[in-house]
Structure 1
Amino acid sequence: MLRKKTAISIHLVFWVLFIGIRFIRIGYAPAIRLQFPGLRFFDVSYLVITALVFYINYFFLLPFFSKKNPVIKYLLPVLISYVLFLCIRYGFEQVISPAVWGYRNYYGTPPLWFYAYDNLYYAFPAVVISTIMWVLIHNIRLMEENAQMKVQQASAEIKFLKAQVNPHFIFNTLNNIYALVFNRSQAALPAIEALAGMMRFTTYEAGAETVFLTEEVQYIDNLIALEQLRHEAPLHLQFKKSIANEQQLIPPFMISPFIENALKHGMVEDAASPVTIVLETTASRLTLEVTNKISTRHKDAVGGVGLENIKRRLNFYYPNRHRLQCATTGQIYNVYLQINF
């Protein structure tokens, strides 16, 4: 975040430059040197009035109109602060000063139009530069706050995905494991290990911003192994993977929801139309293609919040660097995902 000290430093730099440019002269004879002619009475009053209007515009006018449409929120503060600058300066230099000290900045009584025209230059720092500075600092803070909100949102969505681990799936898996243990099946220990691996991933590894791609692949392998316990016949499923870099990092739960969808909504019993999962990575790209025949018992889709969640996370982590296509052709549901690292 743009800290308060940084914003104060920006203001201090501006005022040092402003005072230096306006009131320090460069002499060229007999040698180049800085000259400090000193501040006159109306130089001091000009600085005070400029600072006063500058921060009235900065702290009050611009924030007050910031929720209006783009024309009003900038035009009105500029106009109001300019009129305020004219009124304060004219009132002090042309009314109060002659009455108290006997001299004025402008000789005589200048026409109002001339006074307004002549002060366009003098009002520029108080009116225009204050607006530019506020817009820059305000927008930087907005961008930082939006980025922080996106990070928090992504973190919340990860927790949401973790909470979405189907309790019925876990309950059924435990029942199946219990039956394996009761029957002293050799498949009991691998099943317990697979379930423990899944729970470990959702509890610990998935809490990180990124995980190794191989860890999520192991999560998918465990998911498939436990899904097999629910079926007496072997699953008709093909999982082909070619991973170029085992140290490749990805955000957790970026690809596994598509496989969960295929297992939940697809026909894993149909040998003629097996569920196919193809995962390939290179040094610069990941592609995932999942194809399954739609089960008549379920509606096929990464439904509702799930698909929208994945889309938002893809847009957050890989803006303009990914392509996701989900399509139904007849009884076949196909997902294609491409991520460019």
Structure 2
Amino acid sequence: MGQISYNPENKSQKIKLYTLYWLGYILLFSMIQGLPEDDFIMAWRNEWYSVLPKILFVTIIVEFLMPNLLFKKKTAIFIGCYVLLILVFAFLQRLIDNYIILRYYMTFWKREPLLSAPVFLYNVSKLQFVVTTPIAFKLLYYLAEEKNKVQTILSEKLQAELSSLRNQFHPHFLFNVLNSLYSKILNKSDDSAEIVIKISDLLRFSIYDLNNKSISLQNEIDYLKNYISLQQLRFENQLQLSFSLYGNVENHFIEPFLILPFIENSYKHCLDENNQGWITIAINASDEWLVVKIENSLPEHYNTIGDNVRSGIGIANVKRRLELLYPAKHTLTIKNEMLSFFVSLKIKIKDVSN
């Protein structure tokens, strides 16, 4: 998608566009009303007197009501406010016409009653005309921005999937898991079949489930458990793990690959020079919120050599995805202490009925 030249958050650009728009509007209606009477100057002056209510009307509709009501799916309230405002400003326009323009500058023109239907409707139509272009422009930009946001989410999700696949099925990771599996088979361990099933589940999840916009929280937890189990095979007694699950994970849905990057990160950075370390994972699912807390050890020299686990690509990616997928519906806290790294993630989860 091409770059959009208009940025509604750029105040100076917005002021310039509005200035050009209103100058164009005044010029247009001055010509429409001035040419038949062959008095362009009078029409130009009258439009300047009556333009302020129109500017205020358009600003309220485009800059306040559309972002706060229409774009937040409060369409009925928006329409009600719109109708009320256009009637109020049409009446205000009638006051200006009768008590300023006709009284001091067009005394030869007969003054109609304030609520005269033909004149009042003319002012309503004029307000509707003047607000149509800004509304259309704002709406088109909003739709383009939403489309761009969807594309960004898809792109971010794809990058997260690829990054996670590279980490999960990195040859070194698979090599260690398969070696452990080989050892179990030689010893005729009952764990061999379970290891094969866990690897199969990881592959199935990565190939099929990630194509879905969201997955069940139960499937996500099962996937994390499989991943953790296989990682523990690699480290065996070197790594102390505490994994706790609280609440009910059924009937809830979540975007995939939001928790895993933090767990991957903990395994990547927890071991010291003696290949010893610890990880604590606690997941709590309530009716509306999912709370994930992950903490892992850090080598003593880790922060002194300039490394910072919070700056990894995986974490930066999931931060961005959270901002896009759960705006105002998540809380992420990251603490990089001297000897530990802590992550707390709180997400408003979707119910199966939504």
Structure 2 equivalent of residue 76 of structure 1: 20
Counterpart check, 1:143 vs 2:142: yes
- Counterparts in 2 of 1:303 and 1:329: CA distance versus 1, 3 Å: closer
Structure 2 equivalent of residue 192 of structure 1: 196
What is the DSSP-based 3-state SS (H/G/I as helix, E as strand, rest coil) of the residue aligned with 1:242? strand
The percentage of aligned residue pairs carrying the same residue is 25
Q: After superposition, what is the alpha-carbon deviation per residue over 1:107-153, rounded to whole angstroms, capped at 9, x for unaligned?
A: xx65x532334566799789864442122122222222222322222
C-alpha displacement of 1:88: 5.6
Between Structure 1 and Structure 2, which shows a larger proportion of helix residues?
Answer: 2
For residue 208 of structure 2, the aligned residue among 204, 208, 212 is: 204
Single out whichever of 204-213 and 313-322 deviates more from structure 2. Answer: 313-322
Runs of 5+ in structure 2 lacking a partner?
A: 51-96, 98-118, 350-354
2:239–2:276 Cα contact (<8 Å) kept: no
- Counterparts in 2 of 1:148 and 1:116: CA distance versus 1, 3 Å: closer
Distance 2:6 2:139 in 1: 18
- 5 Å-filtered alignment, 1:144-163, equals 144-163=143-162
C-alpha displacement of 1:239: 0.2
Counterpart check, 1:285 vs 2:213: no
Structure 2 equivalent of residue 35 of structure 1: none
1:321–1:340 Cα contact (<8 Å) kept: yes
Distance 2:151 2:228 in 1: 31
C-alpha displacement of 1:187: 2.7
Larger-Rg structure: 1
What is the DSSP-based 3-state SS (H/G/I as helix, E as strand, rest coil) of the residue aligned with 1:69? helix
What is the DSSP-based 3-state SS (H/G/I as helix, E as strand, rest coil) of the residue aligned with 1:283? coil
Structure 2 equivalent of residue 308 of structure 1: 316
Counterpart check, 1:317 vs 2:316: no
Single out whichever of 241-250 and 262-271 deviates more from structure 2. Answer: 262-271
Distance 1:307 1:203 in 2: 22
Counterpart check, 1:329 vs 2:333: no
- 5 Å-filtered alignment, 1:1-341, equals 69-87=13-31, 90-91=34-35, 93=36, 106=37, 110=39, 112-118=40-46, 129-164=128-163, 165=165, 166=167, 167-168=170-171, 169-181=173-185, 184-233=188-237, 235-267=239-271, 274-295=278-299, 299=307, 301-341=309-349
Q: Which amino acid aligns with 1:262?
A: S
- Counterparts in 2 of 1:271 and 1:87: CA distance versus 1, 3 Å: closer
Distance 1:163 1:265 in 2: 20
Distance 2:260 2:181 in 1: 23
Matched length: 263
What is the DSSP-based 3-state SS (H/G/I as helix, E as strand, rest coil) of the residue aligned with 1:73? helix
- Counterparts in 2 of 1:318 and 1:173: CA distance versus 1, 3 Å: same
Single out whichever of 163-172 and 219-228 deviates more from structure 2. Answer: 163-172
2:181–2:195 Cα contact (<8 Å) kept: yes
2:310–2:336 Cα contact (<8 Å) kept: no
- Counterparts in 2 of 1:182 and 1:141: CA distance versus 1, 3 Å: farther
C-alpha displacement of 1:220: 1.2
Distance 1:237 1:264 in 2: 14
Q: After superposition, what is the alpha-carbon deviation per residue over 1:292-324, rounded to whole angstroms, capped at 9, x for unaligned?
A: 111469756254322222112222222222211
Distance 2:332 2:175 in 1: 32
Distance 1:270 1:236 in 2: 14
Give the TM-score normalised by structure 1.
0.66
Q: Which amino acid aligns with 2:191?
A: A
Distance 2:24 2:189 in 1: 84
Q: After superposition, what is the alpha-carbon deviation per residue over 1:2-53, rounded to whole angstroms, capped at 9, x for unaligned?
A: xxxxxxxxxxxxxxxxxxxxxxxxxxxxxxxxxxxxxxxxxxxxxxxxxxxx
- Counterparts in 2 of 1:188 and 1:297: CA distance versus 1, 3 Å: farther
Structure 2 equivalent of residue 7 of structure 1: none
1:236–1:270 Cα contact (<8 Å) kept: no
